[in-house]
Amino acid sequence: MLSTLFEQSKPGRRAIGFAKGSIHSSQKIAAKHLRKNPPKLPEVAELEVVRHFTRASQLNYSVDTNFYPLGSCTMKYNPKANFRAASHPAFADVHPLTPAWANQGLLRVIRDFERGLLEITGMDSITLAPAAGAHAELVGILMAGAYFKDKGQANERRKIIIPDSAHGTNPASAVLGGFDVITIRSNSRGRVHLEELVKVLNQNTAMLMMTVPNTLGLFEDEILEVARLVHKAGALLYMDGANMNALMGVVKPADLGFDLMHLNLHKTFAVPHGGGGPGAGVLAARRHLEEYLPVPRITESTNGEMEILESSPKSIGRIRAFHGSVGNILLSSAYLAMLGKEGAVAASRTAIVNANYLKALLKEAGLKPFQDEPCMHEAVFTLDPKTLNGVRTLDLAKRLLDFGFYAPTVYFPLIVPEAIMAEPTETETPETLEEFARAVKTILEEAKTNPDRVKTAPHKLPVARLDEVTAARNPVIRA
Amino acid sequence: MDEQTATEQKLLQKIGVKSFEDLLPPIPKELLLPSLGLPPAKTELELAQYLDHAAEKNIPLKSFLGAGAYDHFIPQAVWDLTKRGEFLTAYTPYQAEASQGTLIALFEFQTMVCELFGMDASNASLYDGATALVEAVLLARRWFSEELALTPKKILVPRALHPQWRSTLSTYLRNLDVEIVEIPYDGKTGKLALRVLQNALQDPGVFAFVAGQPNFFGILEDMDQIGEIRTKTQALFISVVNNPISLGILEPPGSYNADIAVADGQPLGIPMTYGGPSLGLFAVKKDYLRRIPGRICGRTVDRNGQTGYTLTLQTREQHIRREKATSNICTNQTLCAIAATIYLSLLGPEGLKEAAELTFSKAHEIWERSRYIIARAGEPAFDHEEFFQEFIWKTRLPAERLEAICRETRLLPGYPLGRDYPELKDSLLIAATEKTSEADINNLAKVLNNYALNAIRTK
Amino acid sequence: MVDRSKLKFAKTHEWARLENGAVIVGITDFAQQEIRDIVYVELPKTGREVKQGEPLGVIESVKAAFEIYAPVSGRVVAVNDHISQDVTKIHKDPFGEGWLFKIEASSPAQLETLMNEADYQKITAESHR
């Protein structure tokens, strides 16, 4: 394993420097403010830095190098052309407090993109300020709070209903937004359980949060009835749009009855995941919730001038220091511009076909689909360790790494035992999916003939299986 | 039939359906496959032309804007390395064995954040400085409720803290039964009113207090005294570092008794790009380790005893704890954290010190050059005895006149404070970095001079 | 060796035993096996008042967290500090050295609302079916 740069450090060695001796005697600063012990940063030459991080990068699997069928994460290819937008010096160097009159071009690009997203979702108004999906969820939840406060129902409507198959961020965001969470279990078909919903839906309900397609890769086929019930109870309907990759040009969430929703630009709209971030979130809402959107917002005057709305009486306020993760917004705006009208629906179409194809292949390879019906953009499987000499989902995941594939999402959603969730995305070829299915088949056979080989995987990576128990018992989190 | 259609046909056959439509959900047909009112697809060339056309509408400006985002120098190697596809297009390192590159970089990042701040533990980053402050406040609140079984409801926040950060904090806390108490600044020095802070801390209902170094006005606070105040209260001290580059020369939060330290990491090699993505830095003393929000990377061994890295302490997080998680945060800002790690590796302790000194020096040069102009057409807002990279010039010219001058000169002399601080109407917060050149300073002096003449004429 | 016939069991997998006027609480052998590798235990502070069934601690494995519930109402009078040093004690000796805390019960009769070992084993057998 690579040693850290701290271990390579030699006192006095330098890479980048600036002019020395620059503080004049007239420029005073009291001794008590001055740092007594310099921070122990690595002291290395530039070549050492370059080699270290180049070698480090080579220890990673990535979309650029490997198939990455992580369910729920939408690891699609991130077209290089998108960086034309994000690294354009006219945009990358803009200070966040630059007045709108000097920033018309950038604001126009963002506004064009906002329009595109409104068209795809069918919503009426939008903010691109959230830093991630979970951040956007919080925005939606705070907006719901402000909406009910306005209606004089803040004290009654304290509960947010969330299905047990939801992303963990949903309940965590609801609590941060000051609401109580009611979890309802899914029905045997993996959808929202209507009877369970009716039991808990009442004048205390603020909102139902649903993921569409849900985390099992299934479309909530009773959504219109759910929407009717929720609205009849006076509550709002929220869509977790993490899986929007299945819906572009297939169906508009607003048409299904959603009042507000979020999108993850780092999933559907091709912002690279960057090893865990930065992402970017979007919150889109119907007209009746527009005035609660966070500030600042981009608006357009009648003469086509772009303006910044800094405050608004009913807005929930700011959710971060500045406008948004603009660099990522630019990546996505380039992506959508190159997809265009036909490309958007074609992307979702291929994502759905690919997922169903992969599902057929993996079923044939020996995995059991959670639900034997067409899926949307991803499919969930399970396996039975008892029939595989005790080989578990985790072992399969680790062994897949040896075959040059990143593992699917495992043990999520929580309601499926030994869950395996695979999402191929639209950018993979059938040949890659076939190769992946062959690897799964080989491993399931190996589990029967040589289970230890699977249980001790990976064998061909820079490190063998890591001891996470020791890491958590005695955390070492700095050099 | 084109290649794409033929391929789809083959796949559909294997799936066992006749057409794509058979895969669609059972909802009314009129809702399915709506026509999208989007423009036709652009080729890469057309995209480039569209962007260039938009870019022409952006007016290039020389600016002395700071106020929480700083135009520091970014060495070429930072993004050449960060943008490698293996970093750029990897996911969160959940399969640690296939993610050692990202993980070792995060481990180094956490170490550097601890070293910079003089603290014991850090996470793998948060969204930005403002949300890092929010998470610090929430940690302090949990500390009281979980560790001390108390539920105090107040936090003390300086008026001279970044207004957008304060605003973010109040948005997050709007439904959480926490009261934000504002601590004023001294009208002469611009520093935190320590007496008021001390008195406010007599209230047992306070669970945390915040202080920034330097404060939003650029002025250096007496952190030794504020650290001393911490020793006399149970409330946690959350320290805000306005610009982490300043830690090349300034005492770190760990040395003045901060319990939690936060900063926005943008100056560490991240382009401003109109405000994001940024990088929230977050560090704590060891007592609070298991209450840190967000992802944490840890060092461990593999089954052969070889060193390796993995995400750890994950039970704090939303994907496991759901409504009981320490935070709702799921992503971190890995790529920006890697950029900051490379930036700090390239500079080292000496380079960081030089960047901080040069920044300090440029800001003071502007201050000295503008003083005689100020005497003619304004006054310093405070005595500015000690500052790092920013100061405030209180003009006698109405802010409305500013725009006209800026448009004409293509120079933004500073951030107008009137909107956030009515008492500082017509005042500008002026910032420098090590990039500020002699020519820039001459130009600024010219504009300020113009400003001064205008102000005299207006009288 | 602990005499298990003196133990009472909660359906949330805690055991409780009255000794010298205080109720000693731990998690069952079944629970420690299910959790597998315990990495951390968060115990209540002494002096804390609890009601029966209220969560007052957490046991964590690498990828899961389990609440510990108070089997009886009362005040926490002692916690097992050795556990924080070495969480594996719970795996090695769940009914003995792996005890977690002691509660001074406000109404010791509440112990009688809990199960005996035989009934508890029926529950765990069912969950394994």
pLDDT digits 0-9 by tens, A142-155: 999 999 999 999 99
Going by C-alpha positions, the residue among A140, A124, A79 that lies closest to residue A333 is A79
Interface test with chain B among A59, A266, A308, by most B beta carbons within 10 Å: A59
CB B299 within 8 A of CB A471: yes
| Residue A37: Cβ-neighbour burial (10 angstroms; 0-12, 13-18, 19+) | exposed
* Pairwise CA distance, residues B272 & B276, whole Å: 6
- Touching check for A331 and chain B: CB below 8 Å? no
Interface contact C60, partner A, CB < 8 A: yes
For chain B, the chains sharing at least 3 beta-carbon pairs closer than 8 angstroms are: A, C
Q: Are the C-beta atoms of B152 and B205 separated by less than 8 Å? A: yes
pLDDT band at A134 (very low <50, low <70, confident <90, very high): very high
Nearest Cα to A36, choosing from B121, B341, B224, B237? B224
Residue with the two structure tokens 């971030």? A277
* Helix ranges restricted to H, chain C: 29-35, 81-85, 88-92, 117-127
Sorted by sequence, the CB contacts under 8 Å of residue B451 that are 6+ apart come out as B373, B377, B395, B397, B405, B413
Label residue A432 by pLDDT band (50, 70, 90). Answer: very high
Query: Å from B237 to nearest chain C CA?
Result: 23
Q: Does A280 touch chain B (CB under 8 A)?
A: yes
**SS3 state at A272:** coil
* Residue A411 touches chain C, beta carbons under 8 Å: yes
In this prediction, residues C58-76 reach a mean pLDDT of 92
Determine contact, residues A272/A266, Cβ cutoff 8 Å.
Answer: yes
The beta-carbon neighbor of C63 closest among B147, B149, B320 is B320
Asked if A418 and A79 touch (Cβ cutoff 8 Å), the reply is no
Q: What would the mean pLDDT of A185-198 be, rounded to a whole number?
A: 95
Comparing C-alpha atoms, which of A164, A166, A119, A174 is closest to residue A142?
A174
Interchain proximity A473–C87, CB inside 8 Å: yes
Closest-CA residue of A relative to B270 is A92
Question: Which residues of chain B neighbour C48 with C-beta distances below 8 Å?
Answer: 149
**Any idea what the Cα angle at residue B187 is, between residues B182 and B189, rounded to 5°?**
105
Residue A58 pLDDT > 50, yes or no?
yes
Low pLDDT (below 50) residues in chain B: none
Alpha-carbon gap, residue A21 to A340, rounded angstroms: 55
Q: Which residue has the higher pLDDT, C36 or B422?
A: B422
Residue B85 is nearest to which of A64, A221, A472, comparing CB atoms?
A64
Q: How many CB atoms lie within 10 A of CB B184?
A: 12
Q: At what angle do helices B44-56 and A326-365 cross, to 10 degrees?
A: 160
* ∠ CA A141-A326-B102, rounded to 5°: 90
Nearest Cα residue to B133 out of B232, B253, B226: B253
For A171-198, the DSSP string reads HHHHHHTT-EEEEE-B-TTSSB-HHHHH
Select the more confidently predicted residue: A21 or B414.
Answer: B414
What percent of chain B has pLDDT above 90?
A: 80
Cβ burial, residue A413 (10 Å; 0-12/13-18/19+): buried
User: Mean per-residue pLDDT for A264-283?
Assistant: 97
What values do phi and psi take at B431, rounded to 5? -125, 150
User: DSSP code of B343?
Assistant: H
Cβ <8 Å between B149 and C65: no
- CB–CB contact C37 A469 (8 Å): yes
C-alpha span between B265 and B288 (Å, rounded): 21
Task: Look at B97 and A361 and tell me if their CB atoms are within 8 Å.
Answer: no
Mark yes or no for CB contact B350/A175 under 8 Å. no
Strands annotated E in A256-325: 260-264, 281-285, 297-300, 306-309
> How many angstroms separate the CA atoms of A408 and A399, rounded?
12
Interface of A with B in 95-134 (CB under 8 A): 95-99, 101-106, 108-109, 116, 119-120, 122, 131-134
Q: Say which residues have a Cβ less than 8 Å from residue A31's Cβ, sequence separation at least 6.
A: none
For residues B159 and B185, the answer to whether their CB atoms sit within 8 Å is yes
Residue pLDDT, tens place only, A345-384: 999 999 999 999 999 999 999 999 998 899 999 999 999 9
| Structure token pair of residue A391 | 């080989």
Say which residues have a Cβ less than 8 Å from residue C27's Cβ, sequence separation at least 6.
C13, C14, C15, C35, C59, C68, C90, C94, C98, C100
* CB atoms B149 and C61 under 8 Å: no
For chain B, counts of helices (H) and of strands (E) = 13, 15
The confidence band for C5, taking pLDDT boundaries of 50, 70 and 90, is confident
| Structure confidence at residue B222 (pLDDT) | 97
Q: Is residue B190 within 8 Å of residue B392, measured between CB atoms?
A: yes
**CB within 8 Å: C64 and B149:** no
Q: Is the pLDDT confidence value at A25 over 60?
A: no
Q: Determine the pLDDT at residue C129.
A: 46
How many residues in chain A?
479
| B308 vs A: CB within 8 A | yes
- C-alpha distance from residue B181 to each of B46, B157, B260 (Å): 53, 6, 19
Contacting residues for A338 by C-beta, under 8 A, at least 6 apart: A79, A81, A82, B41, B42, B43, B44, B47
The beta-carbon neighbor of B321 closest among C42, C48, C65 is: C65
Distance CA A140, CA A269 (A): 20
CA distance A199 to chain C (A): 25
Closest partner residue to A250 (CB to CB) among B33, B90, B130 is B33
Nearest to B249 among A24, A35, A64 (CB): A35
Starting at the edge strand that comes first in sequence, how are the strands of the sheet with B427-431 ordered?
Answer: B378-380, B390-395, B427-431, B415-416
Cα C35 to Cα C98: distance, rounded to the nearest angstrom: 14
Chain B residues within 8 Å of chain C (Cβ atoms): 147, 149, 290, 314-315, 320-321, 324
Mean pLDDT of A78-105: 96
Tokens of B31: 């809702």
Residue A138: closest CA among A368, A320, A404, A395: A320
Q: How confident is the model at residue C1 (pLDDT cuts 50, 70, 90)?
A: low
Asked whether the beta carbons of residue B298 and residue A95 sit closer than 8 angstroms, the reply is: no
Q: Which residues of A316-331 are buried (b: 16+ CB within 10 A; e: fewer)?
A: bbbbbbbbbbbbbbbb
In whole angstroms, what is the distance from residue A358 CA to residue A350 CA?
Answer: 12
Q: What are phi and psi of B256, to 5 degrees?
A: -120, 35
Rounded-to-integer distance, Cα A179 and Cα A159, Å:
6
The whole-angstrom separation of Cα B413 and Cα B393 is 10
Residues 408-427 (B) with a CB less than 8 A from some CB of A: 412, 415, 419
Which 8-state DSSP code applies to residue A37?
S
For residues C95 and A188, what is the distance between their CA atoms, to the nearest angstrom? 39
Chains that touch A (3 or more CB pairs under 8 A): B, C
**Partners of A263 in the β-ladder:** A241, A282
User: Is the separation of the CB atoms in B129 and B277 below 8 Å?
Assistant: no
A468 chain-C contacts, CB cut-off 8 A: 62
Whether the ipTM is more than 0.95: the answer is yes
Q: Using the beta-carbon criterion (under 8 Å), do B403 and A101 form an inter-chain contact?
A: yes
Residue A174 pLDDT more than 60? Answer: yes
Residues of A in contact with B298 (CB under 8 A): 471-472, 475-477
C-alpha span between B147 and B145 (Å, rounded):
6
Which of the residues C37, C83, C86 would you substitute to probe the A interface, choosing the one with the greatest number of A C-beta atoms within 10 Å? C37
Q: Which residues are registered as beta bridge partners of B26?
A: none
Question: What is the model's pTM?
Answer: 0.96
